[in-house]
Structure 1
Amino acid sequence: MERPKYFTPNEVSAHNTPEDLWVSFLGKVCDLTPLIDQCKDDVLLRPIIECAGKDISYWFNTDTKDVLTHVDPITNCVRYYTPRGRFVHVPPAGPRSDWATDFVRPWWRDQQYQVGLLTTKTRWIRVINALTSQEQLLEVCSEETLDEITRRYLRYNAHASSYTWKHHGTKLDMSRTLGQNDVLDEDHNLERLRLDRDFYTPALLLYYNDDLTKG
């Protein structure tokens, strides 16, 4: 089974225009750009565009995974609760003949828009090349394996896979996460002790294997 791709909130926030629009909600990350293109110039896109690049979990019921509902004070009927304004695929409050119902499922239930999952916790690490002494600060997802973190680091070193990754002198298992490799997340303890986390960022050291076959 293919592992999902994880994203940080900062990565989601970079997609914040109508031409490239992502949102996160209930742990999912969705690319709604195709929806924007499909419903172009529809006024019901406004609430979505206003929240481009943001987390909109507060729009939804965590139990039903559907849009929040409330009892309409005028009709006494249960309606979707959209205080920012009705958005695409949300039915109008009353009977109307101009509302299109030809979509298969509402976008928040449609898997075609999902590109990955939102990390539950980001982590900062220092990746230090023992050969060149180059140091890079990386924000990663706590759910990512070292192999996946390596792919993040490739932009800084295209031959990162030709290195042995170690922490405190111990070779890391690239198929496991940082936590599973005992690279512990001390943020909670550092906060409790009122210590600056920037001074206690875990360091991973890369040792060159003299093998450039893994580009």
Structure 2
Amino acid sequence: MPRPKYFTPNEVSLHNTPGDLWVSYLGKVYNLTPLAEEYKGDVLLKPILECAGKDITHWFDPKTKDILTHTDPLTGCVKYYTPRGRFVHVPPPFPTTDWANDFGKPWWQDSRYEVGLLSAKTRWIRIINTLTSQEQKLEVCSEETLEEILQRYLLYNSHAKSYTWKHNGFDLDMSKTLSENGIPDEDEEFYKTRLDCDRFSQSVCLYFNDDLTEF
């Protein structure tokens, strides 16, 4: 199985329209654009549209992985807890014959919408091209390997694979994360000492190899 892709909360937040609708919950990222298209114009889509690009983990019970429930004080029945209003695939609060329940799995249990994992902790690094002296600041996922970070950096340098990646003069293992390569995440330390992490983020230096490979 291929390794899942990690996303930063900022990346998820960019997908915030009915035609490009992502959400995250319980540590995973979902593309609900097909769901929005299927239920276009349905009032039950409104709570989901209002949370486009956001994390909705608070909608769920982390133990059951299902929508939170509560006991209705009037009927004593257990119902889904939807303070923003009932949404797609949530059954009505009373028996009815006009609710179509032949959709299969509810969207929050349907793995077809899953596109990756939400990073538990992001960090900023500076990538310095020693050949051109160009510097690029990137927000990356702490779980990503250097090879995955390289894929992000290809947007700024299509020849990134033609460089040796180093930190403090030592070659980096591209199959390992920044922390596994001995590049610590110092955000908490900066917070305690009130230093600007934007000014003191860790740097990775790229040294040009002989071959210029295009990607």
The equivalent of 1:5 in structure 2 is 5
Residue identity in the other structure for 1:160: A
Question: Whole-Å Cα distance in 2 between the matches of residues 12 and 157 of structure 1?
Answer: 23
The equivalent of 2:179 in structure 1 is 179
The equivalent of 1:145 in structure 2 is 145
Question: Whole-Å Cα distance in 2 between the matches of residues 185 and 214 of structure 1?
Answer: 32
The equivalent of 1:14 in structure 2 is 14
The equivalent of 2:41 in structure 1 is 41
Question: Whole-Å Cα distance in 1 between the matches of residues 49 and 213 of structure 2?
Answer: 45
The equivalent of 1:86 in structure 2 is 86
1:77 equivalent to 2:77? Answer yes
The equivalent of 2:156 in structure 1 is 156
Q: Following superposition of structure 1 onto structure 2, how do residues 116-131 of structure 1 map, counting pairs within 5 Å?
A: 116-131=116-131
Tell me, which stretches of 5 or more residues in structure 1 are unaligned?
Answer: none
Kindly report the root-mean-square deviation, in angstroms, between the aligned alpha carbons of the 2 structures. 0.8
Question: Whole-Å Cα distance in 1 between the matches of residues 118 and 192 of structure 2?
Answer: 26
Question: Whole-Å Cα distance in 2 between the matches of residues 129 and 145 of structure 1?
Answer: 19
**Normalising by the residue count of structure 2, what TM-score does the alignment of the two structures yield?**
0.98
How far apart are residue 213 of structure 1 and its match? 2.6
Tell me, which stretches of 5 or more residues in structure 2 are unaligned?
Answer: none
Question: Whole-Å Cα distance in 1 between the matches of residues 211 and 184 of structure 2?
Answer: 30
The equivalent of 2:55 in structure 1 is 55
How far does the alpha carbon of each residue in 1:124-163 deviate from its partner, in whole angstroms, 9 at most, with x for none? 0000000000000000000100000000000100000000
How far apart are residue 88 of structure 1 and its match? 0.4
The equivalent of 1:165 in structure 2 is 165
How far apart are residue 199 of structure 1 and its match? 2.0
How far apart are residue 214 of structure 1 and its match? 4.9
- Secondary structure at the counterpart of residue 76 of structure 1: coil
Question: Whole-Å Cα distance in 2 between the matches of residues 19 and 54 of structure 1?
Answer: 15
- Secondary structure at the counterpart of residue 197 of structure 1: coil
Residue identity in the other structure for 2:171: K
How far does the alpha carbon of each residue in 1:157-176 deviate from its partner, in whole angstroms, 9 at most, with x for none? 00000000000111000000
Question: Whole-Å Cα distance in 1 between the matches of residues 110 and 77 of structure 2?
Answer: 26
Percentage of pairs with the same residue: 67
- Secondary structure at the counterpart of residue 131 of structure 1: coil
Higher mean alpha-carbon deviation, 183-192 vs 108-117, is at 183-192
Question: Whole-Å Cα distance in 1 between the matches of residues 120 and 160 of structure 2?
Answer: 26
**Normalising by the residue count of structure 1, what TM-score does the alignment of the two structures yield?**
0.98
- Secondary structure at the counterpart of residue 144 of structure 1: coil
Residue identity in the other structure for 1:140: V
Question: Whole-Å Cα distance in 2 between the matches of residues 96 and 37 of structure 1?
Answer: 25
